[in-house]
Amino acid sequence: MTEPAPTQENQSADDGPLHQTFKCGGCAAKMEFKPGADAQKCPFCGHENPIPKSEDDIKELDLRAYITAIAAQEDTTEHLTIKCQACAAETTADPNVTAQDCAFCGTPIVATAASTKHIKPKSLLPFHITRKQGWDLFTKWINALWFAPGDLKRLARQENRLNGMYVPYWTYDSDTTSFYRGQRGEHYYVTEHYTTHDSEGKTVRKTRRVRKTRWWPTSGTVWASFDDILVLASNSLPRKYTEKLEPWDLQNLAPYKDDYLSGFGAESYQVDLGDGFEHACKTMDTDIRHRVRRDIGGDEQRIHSVRTQHDNVTFKHILLPVWISTYRYKNKPYRFLINGRTGEVQGERPWSWAKILILVLGITAAAAAIIIAIVAASQA
């Protein structure tokens, strides 16, 4: 290993242990690795996974071809759906309903139904929060908003309709093998001499300890096993709010039955299986890079490249319960979401810039008064 010249500092590895596991492709048992070996080996069936020694050893997964192949093996269902022209939400059509408001944005829509074929949901989480509890949560939330327009609470109470919707999600499982290249930074200290001035203005010579970093090239392989990476399969809801509804108790998923949908709406997925897996890969990559930093070690780490191979990829199409409230203020829709299991609430809201301006002016005036008082006291 050659010693490169010290360069600038980079991000340090995250603290805390990261448990790395990899399942056997033959029997799904945990693979084992022995130092000095060239492969992981299953202690039960003897199946081996060669350890990549370079980026060329990582197999590229043709996502589209792979996803198309596994999707073709799934059960599909054909049903009537209606599409909102304002927010593009697609929901199942109720019999004998010709007009209604969109549950996602509140826009009136004509229920022109179209027949669509989708992968059938495998499971769902039934609603636990009742409509009354949802309404109470909505009222509590909107009453607690700071800097809201004065008439917002009244208008929201008048216009609000709380809709229970089953929202589509994908979950993905994948075993990953990642080969990386990077640098490990190790700190060292040197003594430097410098001159400065003391309190009397005299020039004095002093010494100080200065930290520097040596960077060493490194490469290696990390493994990870991911379970139930959750991806929203809807484009109708703001992702930044749906992510804040998490976590979901996915361990309590129930097998899908039409009975659970009685009295509730259900949205059809708009993010297809392949696009969903690409979203999941981004989530996995964040965790993989944490593992790479741990594997590089040292005081600091730089990652130049990571190539990941996916094996044993599986998925589920599931439905999760969300109470949705859409209210309008000055002709703009605002959505309020409630996790139908935990009661976690997230939502969009308007702001009263007049109230914010008054507060800023008040703070500025108070600060100015304090400064004037301090100056006056110092001159007294």
CA distance 248 to 242: 11
Specify the higher pLDDT residue, 274 or 326: 274
Percent of the chain scoring above 90 in pLDDT: 29
State whether residue 294 is helix, strand or coil: helix
In a domain, 368, yes or no: no
pLDDT computed for residue 252 by the predictor: 92
CA distance 91 to 121: 14
Task: Pick the range with the lowest mean pLDDT from 93-107, 158-172, 345-359.
Answer: 93-107
Q: Does residue 125 register a pLDDT over 90? A: yes
The DSSP H or E segment spanning 323 is strand 300-329
Question: Do 228 and 171 touch, CB atoms closer than 8 A?
Answer: yes
Q: Does residue 257 register a pLDDT over 80? A: yes
CA distance 80 to 252: 29
In a domain, 159, yes or no: yes
Residue 157's pLDDT band (boundaries 50, 70, 90)? low
Task: Pick the range with the lowest mean pLDDT from 5-14, 132-141, 212-221.
Answer: 5-14
Amino acid identity of residue 302, one-letter, is: R
What does the pLDDT look like over 21-39, one tens digit per residue?
A: 566 666 666 666 554 556 6
What does the pLDDT look like over 169-209, one tens digit per residue?
A: 999 999 999 999 999 999 999 999 988 888 777 888 889 99
In a domain, 13, yes or no: no
Residue 374's pLDDT band (boundaries 50, 70, 90)? confident
Q: Parallel, antiparallel, or unpaired for β 99-101 and 90-92?
A: unpaired
Task: Pick the range with the lowest mean pLDDT from 14-18, 87-91, 107-111.
Answer: 14-18
DSSP string, 208-261: EEEEEEEEEEEEEEEEEEEEEEEEE--SSS-HHHHGGG----GGG-EE--GGGG
Cα separations in angstroms, 136 against 139, 143, 248, 279, 294: 5, 11, 21, 34, 46
Residue 311's pLDDT band (boundaries 50, 70, 90)? confident
Q: Does residue 8 register a pLDDT over 50? A: no
Kindly state the tokens that stand for 363: 């703070």
Specify the higher pLDDT residue, 263 or 302: 302
Kindly state the tokens that stand for 40: 């992981």
Q: What does the radius of gyration of the chain's CA atoms come to, in whole angstroms?
A: 29
User: Sign of the C-alpha dihedral, residues 286, 288, 292, 293?
Assistant: positive
For range 311-320, the mean pLDDT: 90
**Total count of domains within the chain:** 1
Kindly state the tokens that stand for 55: 């980026």
pLDDT computed for residue 161 by the predictor: 72
In a domain, 282, yes or no: yes
Angle between helices 63-71 and 273-296 in degrees, nearest 10: 130
CA distance 68 to 186: 46
Cα dihedral 140/169/262/142 (nearest 10) = 10
Kindly state the tokens that stand for 106: 């509140």
Question: Do 323 and 131 touch, CB atoms closer than 8 A?
Answer: yes
State whether residue 37 is helix, strand or coil: coil
Residue 16's pLDDT band (boundaries 50, 70, 90)? very low
For range 97-113, the mean pLDDT: 54
Question: Do 140 and 254 touch, CB atoms closer than 8 A?
Answer: no
pLDDT computed for residue 46 by the predictor: 72
∠ CA 162-163-166 to the nearest 5 degrees? Answer: 145
Specify the higher pLDDT residue, 335 or 296: 296
pLDDT computed for residue 92 by the predictor: 62
pLDDT, mean over the chain: 76
CA distance 122 to 285: 26
Q: Chain centroid to CA 64: how far? A: 23
In a domain, 370, yes or no: no
Length of the chain as a residue count: 380
pLDDT computed for residue 127 by the predictor: 93
Residue 142 has φ and ψ, to the nearest 5°, of: -70, -30
In a domain, 281, yes or no: yes
pLDDT computed for residue 356 by the predictor: 54
pLDDT computed for residue 191 by the predictor: 92
Question: Do 32 and 20 touch, CB atoms closer than 8 A?
Answer: no
In a domain, 195, yes or no: yes
Question: Do 166 and 91 touch, CB atoms closer than 8 A?
Answer: no
pLDDT computed for residue 88 by the predictor: 60
Specify the higher pLDDT residue, 5 or 336: 336
In a domain, 107, yes or no: yes
Domain boundaries, position 280 = 39-349
